[in-house]
Structure 1
């Protein structure tokens, strides 16, 4: 379950304002920032984050993991063609930067990412210390039962976008 992110609505409003009031030399949104929607799912194996990045080249995607923070950055370029007039440009172009706070029960050293048809899927496995394991309970030296426990905390993933000065 995701925590409520009060900054998401502010982020969307900022993107709309960027598109509406782009400088005269920036009418197509080039250089603007945008944050695509993300789905975050959790299961016994770990987290799966899915971001929609249509029109983004896989070569422009950078993923960094450090200090319980996972960052995704990509660029979607607008291509101008000589002799062609744009009557409407509504799709966002520019830099995407999205940062996720990941609880310590996940292992950021084993992150995997796949990009397929404009969808980026990032998998973050649970750390070994947070894996479920069976603990034997002894009563006066005799094994009486086995119980499965899950270690680690139960914090949820939170998300925020980070603005970079270009």
Structure 2
């Protein structure tokens, strides 16, 4: 499904360390990785990201070379004459990058943003869809096989016609 990203764990550890020692917590320059759920079905992939407090105008989604990138900005509004006694919520750039297998069509990505939740749908490519293939023996149709391009070993055989 999704490829392992070794830098993701390092990024999460860096964020935890920054929050623990206060080096970037609450600052505008923080780079954050929003939590994501990834689901797959016969139609394609669905990625759901939590982006609370983000304006829809700040969301950027890019798809290129089997890579899907999501970036958004959550800004901290400073007001003159107002003292912040505690700022624990994270502000800055929210960013995630996903390696998407070639069986998905990044030219047909759809995205919806509702109540701080971004849902991205990536459909299966036409070439990766299940299809029925007619098999002929000595020029005559004998059967039809359904082939799932995901798993070429997963072939079901059903008798369609037998001339003979």
TM-score range, shorter chain: 0.7 to 0.9
1:46-85 paired onto structure 2 within 5 Å: 46-85=44-83
Segments of 5+ residues of structure 2 without an aligned counterpart are: 153-164
Instruction: Measure the CA separation in 2 of the matches of 1:33 and 1:17.
Output: 13
**Which structure is richer in relative contact order (CA contacts within 8 A, separation 6 or more)?**
1
- The equivalent residue for 1:37 is 35
Instruction: Measure the CA separation in 2 of the matches of 1:13 and 1:86.
Output: 27
Alignment CA distance shift 1:111-1:27 (3 Å): closer
- 1:83 Cα shift? 2.5
Structure 2 residue 112 is the aligned partner of structure 1 residue 117: no
- 1:150 Cα shift? 1.7
- DSSP 3-state at the match of 1:64: strand
Q: TM-score, normalised by structure 2?
A: 0.83
- DSSP 3-state at the match of 1:99: strand
Count of residues in correspondence between the two structures: 152
Segments of 5+ residues of structure 1 without an aligned counterpart are: 155-166
1:121-140 paired onto structure 2 within 5 Å: 121-140=119-138
- The equivalent residue for 1:10 is 10
Q: TM-score, normalised by structure 1?
A: 0.82
